[in-house]
Structure 1
Amino acid sequence: MTSYKVLVRDVIKKADVLLEVIDARFPEETRNSEIEREIVRLNKPFIIVINKCDLVSNEKLEKTKTRLSKIAPTIFISSKDRSGTTMLRHQILASARIKDRDILVGTLGYPNVGKSSVINGVTGRHRTGTSPISGYTKGVQNVDAGSRIMFIDTPGVIPFDENDEYIQGLLGIKDATHLKDHIGVALKIIDKILAENKTALESLYKITVEDESVYDVLKLIGKQCNFIQKKGEVDETRTATRIINDWQIGLLRI
């Protein structure tokens, strides 16, 4: 973790503008107050980029933007369809105010929030590798975005006290192959979707949820997916893995 701290501080010092990329589904959970304090301490401009905005409702997005815009300029991005990328490019140019050389833009954030996808969206070309597997970016890479913008792409930054596997599963920091309690993580996902967008869950798995408990909903999904063991019982681990994967690749919206 010490190496991450050194890397982050080095990027902040080198960059003219910083992007803090966060997940639209978990705006507060994917902000990093330690990084923000360091940016402010070094008096560097930064932009909050809300990525994966296609996975949440417009109402939720507007509430998030209203709140975060008080901290820094805030831009919505959907790297899936490249919406918001032109606005982000303009905001970078406005924030840097540098005329005589390329603008160095540091990108920081959790694993799997989509930093590399944001860069590819702004450049309009596949310049840096992406993957749904968290931690795909292994080292610092410079990416030429044209029009005097040079990105510094970095590996994901995890808060140094983050040990909660359930949060890591929800945020996509760990995929299903690296989680120990698949059922526990899946129950957290179901609980969140039932609270914020029950219709999405019902539509994807073709089920109807009435007064069932979160655990009963997991079993209902397993039955509908035909994940049945020899004795006729639902294979809960296989069902949980399916739910985690569907959540992390964006098939479930809130």
Structure 2
Amino acid sequence: MKIQWYPGHMAKAKRKMKEDLPLVDAIIEVIDSRCPNSSRNPEIDILAKDKARIMLFNKADLADPARTKSFMESFRKQGFYTMEMDARSRSSVKGVSKLVMESCAELLERKKQKGILSQSIKAMVLGIPNVGKSTFINAYVGKATAKTGNKPGVTKGAQWIKIGKDLQLLDTPGITWPKFEREIVGLNLALIGSINDEILPIEELIFYLLKYLTRYYGSALVSRYGETLQGKEDALEAMDAIAVKRACIKKGGDIDYTKVSRLILDDFRSGRLGRISLEHPMKWEEDSQMEV
């Protein structure tokens, strides 16, 4: 099942982002902790290769903490400055300013040696749709500066936001990229809500999710939906058992697969299934081969 989503306004936003990159010293990228690989726009690595890089693992409260820790360590080894957070909490984002300044320490030292006394830093905030970028900015600033929403495409244009005397943020619209090279990327982005739900084949999507959950998080299914899920390794059997448990049955006794799929998707996105990550830091290649 191949999922692609790249509306026309994103191409325009990408062009504007490229125009603005020379204006900034650092890139703050907000990603979803549940799928750090999938929720990163790979084009940013090419466009911003000479910038200080900060990676904010948002929605860490919904993700598997052990996996998040492992991913963060991996990104640090690649030269990123990382921090986990829940962007809905202002206290959770307090350390971002310090992290930005640490990432730009060499730049500030070079300025000082040239006699430039200003310690001001300009940073561009990037993120694909619905990873919580605008929510983070509002918590960081302390007021509703950026528009937020629980669907992709809320932020439409770039805007500068001043943080104290030494930091300016450039908020940008969330953009994906024209083609997902791996099928798993489209699936994961669909599951976290970064792709418009209206275009998704929801039953196939949840079938994939259940294959993944029965492999890695079977206990979460049992905890949420009862002992009838114990030992279930087949995704279709698991879906049928959940449908019966939650009365997702049509007149005549047939399973209402659309209804049960929406129920499971809502349980996953809300965290009612527990702290689940869609990617394993050591099994990216293996999971990429999982058939849908």
Q: TM-score range by the shorter chain?
A: 0.7 to 0.9
Note if contact 1:207-1:220 (Cα within 8 Å) is conserved in structure 2: no
What is the SS of the residue equivalent to 2:67?
helix
Deviation by residue 1:34-92 (Cα, 9 ceiling, x = unmatched): 2112111xx22111111111112321121111100022111111113345412212111
TM-score, normalising length: structure 2: 0.77
Within the alignment, does 1:199 sit opposite 2:199 as a pair?
no
1:63 maps to what in 2? 70
Q: 1:129-168 alignment to 2 at 5 Å?
A: 129-162=147-180, 166-168=187-189
Give TM-score, length-normalised by structure 1. Answer: 0.88
Equivalents in 1 of 2:233, 2:68: separation in Å?
A: 29
CA contact (8 A) 1:166 1:184 kept: no
Task: Report the Cα distance in structure 2 between the residues aligned to 1:117 and 1:61, rounded to whole angstroms.
Answer: 20
Deviation at 1:102, TM superposition (A): 4.6
Q: Which residue of 1 aligns with 2:249?
A: 228
Q: 1:64 to 1:206 in 2, by over 3 A?
A: same
1:81 is aligned, of 89, 108, 112, to 89
Tell me, in whole angstroms, the C-alpha distance in 1 between the residues paired with 2:149 and 2:34. Answer: 19
Q: Secondary structure at the match of 1:69?
A: helix
Contact 1:189-1:247 within 8 A present in 2 as well: no
Which 10-residue stretch deviates more, 237-246 or 77-86?
77-86
Q: Give the residue type in structure 2 aligned to 1:39.
A: A
Structure 2 gap ranges (5+): 1-9, 112-116, 277-292
Alignment of 1:1-254 (within 5 A): 1-40=10-49, 43-71=50-78, 72-82=80-90, 84-96=92-104, 97=108, 100=118, 102-162=120-180, 166-179=187-200, 181-209=201-229, 210-252=231-273, 253-254=275-276
Tell me whether 78-87 or 211-220 shows the greater mean CA deviation.
78-87
Aligned residues of 1:228 and 1:234 also touching (Cα < 8 A): yes
* 1:175 shift after superposition: 4.5
In 2, Cα distance between the equivalents of 1:145 and 1:204?
A: 42
Asked whether the equivalents of residues 132 and 249 of structure 1 are also in contact (C-alpha less than 8 Å), the reply is no
Distance 2:68 2:189 in 1: 22
Change in CA separation of 1:127 and 1:198 when aligned onto 2, cut-off 3 Å: farther
Query: For residues 160-217 of structure 1, what are the alpha-carbon distances to aligned partners after superposition, in whole Å with 9 as ceiling and x for unaligned?
Result: 21385534412422243332x1111111222223333223333333454213411121
8 Å contact from structure 2 (residues 88, 136) kept in 1: no
**Alpha-carbon separation, structure 2, partners of 1:193 and 1:100:** 51
Counterpart for residue 284 of structure 2? none
CA contact (8 A) 1:89 1:122 kept: no
CA contact (8 A) 2:225 2:245 kept: yes
Choose 1 or 2 for highest CA Rg.
Answer: 2
CA RMSD of aligned residues (A): 2.3
Identity %: 27
Q: Distance in 1 between matches of 2:218 and 2:268?
A: 14
Aligned residues: 251
- Which blocks of at least 5 consecutive residues in structure 1 are unaligned? none
